[in-house]
């Protein structure tokens, strides 16, 4: 186990820092209130301590992640499709069993539909409101492999750049 702030292994403490409880090394623990020292139990894993320090940890292969989101121009698509069908907001709201005020907010862009409502609108109006993107897992760079897992300190440094 390593320090959440700087990533150093060694003597670790459970620390309360600005309302959050983290694991910190002896140096970083001075920034918060020490709750208790963490006693590291002998691991049941047969991987050597040296392998852990060097970041040679086997993990399951990452799978691509699919993210769904509502298109930006959803309001105009909904309004145009409804008008093409020759329906008033009141009639269309009754047809899809939703309130007219909800439909008005959607068409004016004041409210974004949730996924369930977007799917219902797609089906009834025959339009595309939901898009999907697939994120491929990134391969670890040499720098990431050398330094081990990313720590809070790394994120702060990234934000400063």
pLDDT band at 153 (very low <50, low <70, confident <90, very high): confident
For 99-127, write each residue's pLDDT tens digit: 999 999 999 999 999 999 999 999 999 99
Q: pLDDT confidence of 42, banded at 50, 70, 90?
A: low
Domain with 34 in it: 12-58+148-160
Confirm whether 91 is domain-assigned. Answer: yes
Answer whether 104's CB lies under 8 Å from 89's CB. yes
For residue 50, the model assigns a pLDDT of 55
Structural domain total, the chain:
2
- Residue 109, phi-psi category: left (phi > 0), alpha (psi -120 to 50), beta (remainder): left
Same domain flag for 47 and 73: no
What are the DSSP E strand ranges found in the chain?
12-17, 20-25, 33-38, 65-70, 130-135
Please check whether residue 95 lies inside any domain of the structure.
yes
Are 91 and 36 found together in one domain? no
Which residues are bridge partners to 69 per DSSP?
A: 131
The DSSP code for 9 is B
Residues 45 and 71 in one domain: no
The pLDDT, as a whole number, for residue 49 is: 57
Comparing CA positions, the residue from 147, 139, 140, 154 lying closest to residue 54 is 147
Once rounded to an integer, what is the mean pLDDT over residues 10-25?
88
Going through 4-116 in order, the beta strands assigned E by DSSP cover: 12-17, 20-25, 33-38, 65-70
């Amino acid at each position: 186990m390593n320090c959440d702030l700087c990533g150093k292994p060694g003597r670790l403490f459970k620390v309360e820092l600005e309302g959050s409880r983290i694991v910190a090394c002896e140096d970083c623990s001075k920034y918060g209130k020490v709750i208790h020292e963490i006693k590291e139990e002998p691991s049941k894993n047969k991987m050597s301590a040296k392998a852990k320090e060097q970041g040679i940890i086997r993990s399951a292969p990452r799978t691509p992640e699919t993210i769904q989101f509502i298109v930006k121009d959803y309001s105009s698509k909904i309004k145009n499709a409804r008008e093409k069908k020759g329906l008033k907001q009141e009639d269309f709201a009754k047809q899809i069993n939703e309130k007219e005020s909800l439909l008005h907010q959607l068409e004016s862009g004041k409210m974004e539909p949730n996924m369930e409502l977007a799917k219902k609108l797609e089906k009834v109006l025959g339009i595309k409101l939901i898009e999907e993107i697939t994120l491929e897992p990134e391969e670890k760079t040499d720098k990431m492999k050398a330094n081990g897992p990313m720590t809070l300190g790394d994120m702060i440094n990234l934000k400063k750049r």
